[in-house]
Amino acid sequence: MKTTSIVEQIQIKKSFLCIGLDTDKDKIPSHLLLEEDPIFSFNKQIIDAAQHLAVAIKINTAFYEAYGVQGWMSLEKTVRYIKEHYPDIFTIADAKRGDIGNTSLRYAKAFYEALPFDSITVAPYMGEDSVAPFLSVEDKHTILLALTSNKGAFDFQTQKCGEKELYKSVIETASGWEHSDRLMYVVGATKAVFLSDIRTLIPNSFLLVPGVGAQGGSLEEVYRHGSNDKVGLLVNSSRGIIYASDQKDFASAAMDAAQKIQIQMAKLLAC
Q: Which of 258, 6, 215 is nearest to 118 (CA)?
A: 6
User: Whole-angstrom Cα distance, residue 91 to residue 145?
Assistant: 17
Q: Which of 95, 99, 41 is nearest to 73 (CA)?
A: 41
Phi and psi, residue 19, nearest 5°: -100, 125
CA 113, 115, 117, 118: dihedral to nearest 10 degrees? Answer: 10
Query: Where does the chain show beta strands of DSSP type E?
Result: 17-21, 56-60, 90-97, 119-122, 141-147, 160-161, 164-165, 183-187, 207-209, 233-237
Provide CB contacts within 8 A for 36, sequence distance 6+: none
Distance of CA 41 to the CA centre of its chain: 21
Query: Among the options 14, 25, 96, 260, which is catalytic?
Result: 96
DSSP string of 137-166? STT-EEEEEEE-SSTTHHHHTTSEETTEEH
Say if CB 188 and CB 211 are below 8 A apart: yes
Provide CB contacts within 8 A for 176, sequence distance 6+: none
Provide CB contacts within 8 A for 44, sequence distance 6+: 78, 81
96 is catalytic: yes
* Catalytic (active-site) positions: 96
